[in-house]
Amino acid sequence: MKNFVQSGNNLTVAAPYAVESGQVVLIGQLAGVACGDADNGAQVDIATVGVFEIAKPSADVFTVGAPVYFDTATKTARSGGDTDSNSAGDWEAQIGVCVEAAGAGASTVRVKLGVPVALS
């Protein structure tokens, strides 16, 4: 194909905030996991596919197949969607789905990156 650019499994982007290797990078609806450390605005490679353990608040509960959102203010995965789209720090973007149940008290959740396509 003449118009093929790349597989998109890894992308190089400008870090929207300082990140460490293994942290979620969220730019609009584009989510990935940093493959290395980067300062705010510096180029960083992000993995956009795969299953990753992401930090979560201990009170949040996840079930297999449930959507996983990302809170840029706390840099954690969240189990509920945006509660107030006008507030800074809300977790508006779904970054993937939970692949292993994570109950209250757990510090991480396993997330398959990417938002599934809704079937009609």
Query: In order of start, what are the domains of the chain with their CATH numbers?
Result: 10-113 (2.40.300)
Quick: pLDDT tens for 8-66: 899 999 999 999 999 999 998 899 999 999 999 999 999 999 999 999 999 999 999 99
Cα dist. 32→12, 41, 120 in Å?
10, 16, 27
Res. 6: pLDDT tops 60? yes
- The model's pTM is 0.85
Contacts of 34 (CB under 8 A, 6+ apart): 15, 19, 20, 21, 22, 23, 24, 25, 44, 45, 46
| Mean pLDDT of all residues belonging to the chain | 88
